[in-house]
Amino acid sequence: MVFVDKEGTRIHASVGEQLIKQFEGKLTEGDAKVVHLFKLYDVVGDYRTIAHPYKIGFFQTTFVGKADDFPSEVPKKYFVDYNDIVGGKLDNSRLVGESIFIPFFVSV
């Protein structure tokens, strides 16, 4: 999944297979959430969800709660433009697809 903050910064986030049941129903497209107690990992490889150098990893202790006062509009375009691919400008570090919006807050 891809999280976006109120400035439009996007970051990949993943929930391990063993934690899916714990977070099922807590992350819904379009909802503003607060996420606490997670780990940042380096992102490597091709076909990444976004260009951000890190991704969020959930733990059993990760907290997901409702966020208040999140803007209703944030910039949405971050996938490769299809015309760039057809024109031979393919960048394997970016995806082609549909945007799914789950805003988030990160507190440090």
pLDDT for 106 equals 57
pLDDT-derived band at 38, boundaries 50, 70, 90? very high
| Structural contact between residues 55 and 14, judged by C-beta atoms closer than 8 angstroms | yes
Q: What is the mean pLDDT of residues 71-99?
A: 62
Both tokens assigned to 95:
């995806």
Q: Which domain holds residue 26?
A: 2-106
Residue 78 has pLDDT above 60, yes or no: no
State the pLDDT confidence band at 108, using cuts at 50, 70 and 90.
very low
The pair phi, psi for residue 84, each rounded to 5°, is -65, -35
Q: What is the mean pLDDT of the chain?
A: 78
Instruction: State the average pLDDT over residues 79-106.
Output: 61
pLDDT on residue 2: 84
Percentage helix, strand, coil for the chain under 3-state DSSP, each rounded to 5 = 10, 35, 55
Q: In the chain, how many domains are there? A: 1
